[in-house]
């Protein structure tokens, strides 16, 4: 497993900001990159995790509070060891943002969409957040305050016709978040579900209309965290939630043509 950062001595920043040191997965681009920068600008030390070293190092070079860590989170069996390495090096970790994800914009019956593609989506979008959360929970429960933030999607409640598996993983992440929130009652761990609309990222390039910039999404997420919200619906995800409750047929028709 690729697990090391490039400098030999980590910057051991103290968490003088509004949140403790925060792990952000999928941090090399899109929402994850914007979120890492937004947190760092607010004084929060960030452990930025992604598969690709070059964009991750460029992110770390952009702010002194961002530490890069190269890892492939689809290797589910390695999550315990990865978490142990993080906690050994950064014992002040107090928050996990499960943001990493992939989406194959294909119908299930498309000839180019394979079982391996399905497995990759399920492993990264759903199993990895579950496994990472489980591995870090004993440490997080021992803190005075801690957060687990799962980044979801409006597609988790109303699926897109060309993203059936992705939609299913986000629905699963939503239910996992709800169950974990019940389990963590009475503990210092706040469990948060951040529901994203269509955001302008490399994953959504060439798809859809009305996207919001990733920095806007990141700012809204952080504002919600600091306000103490446990369900953060961003941009059009708020309207979609109301439509799902009061006019689900209309929302389904809108997404079928997206």
| CA distances for 234 relative to 80, 151, 181, 229, 238, angstroms | 32, 11, 20, 12, 6
Radius of gyration of the chain (CA): 18
Note whether 176 and 151 are within 8 A (CB). Answer: no
Q: Which residues contact 250 (CB under 8 A, 6 or more apart)?
A: 243
Q: Measuring CA to CA, which residue among 93, 163, 182, 151 is closest to residue 121?
A: 163
Query: From the candidates 132, 166, 168, 234, which is the catalytic residue?
Result: 166
Note whether 37 and 62 are within 8 A (CB). Answer: yes
Cα 258–Cα 124–Cα 17 angle in degrees, nearest 5: 95
Q: Calculate the CA 43 to chain-centre distance.
A: 20
| CA distances for 222 relative to 134, 212, 225, 230, angstroms | 23, 16, 5, 12
90 is catalytic: no
| Strand-pair partners of 93 | 21
Place of tokens 């409006």: 154
Return the number of other C-beta atoms located less than 10 Å from residue 210's C-beta.
10
CA distance 245 to 250: 11
Question: What amino acid positions are annotated as catalytic residues?
Answer: 166
């Amino acid at each position: 497993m690729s697990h090391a950062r490039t400098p030999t001595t980590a910057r051991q920043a103290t968490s003088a900001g509004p949140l403790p040191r925060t792990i952000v997965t999928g941090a090399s681009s899109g929402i994850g990159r914007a979120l890492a920068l937004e947190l760092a600008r607010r004084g929060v030390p960030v452990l930025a995790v992604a598969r690709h070293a070059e964009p991750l190092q460029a992110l770390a070079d952009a702010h002194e509070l961002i530490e890069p860590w190269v890892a492939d989170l689809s290797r589910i069996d390695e999550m315990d060891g990865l978490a142990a390495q993080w906690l050994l090096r950064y014992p002040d970790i107090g928050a996990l943002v499960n943001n990493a994800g992939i989406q194959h914009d294909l119908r299930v019956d498309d000839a180019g969409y394979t079982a391996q593609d399905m497995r990759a989506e399920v492993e990264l979008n759903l199993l990895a957040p579950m496994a990472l959360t489980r591995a870090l929970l004993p440490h997080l429960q021992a803190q005075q305050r801690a957060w687990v933030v799962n980044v979801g999607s409006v597609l988790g409640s109303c699926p897109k016709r060309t993203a059936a598996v992705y939609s299913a993983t986000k629905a699963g992440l939503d239910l996992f978040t709800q169950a974990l929130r019940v389990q963590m009652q009475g503990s210092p761990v706040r469990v948060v579900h951040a529901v994203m609309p269509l955001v302008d990222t490399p994953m959504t390039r060439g798809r859809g209309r009305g996207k919001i910039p990733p920095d806007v999404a990141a700012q809204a997420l952080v504002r919600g965290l600091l306000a103490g919200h446990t369900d953060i619906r961003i941009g059009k995800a708020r309207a979609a939630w109301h439509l799902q409750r009061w006019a689900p047929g209309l929302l389904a028709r809108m997404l079928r043509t997206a």
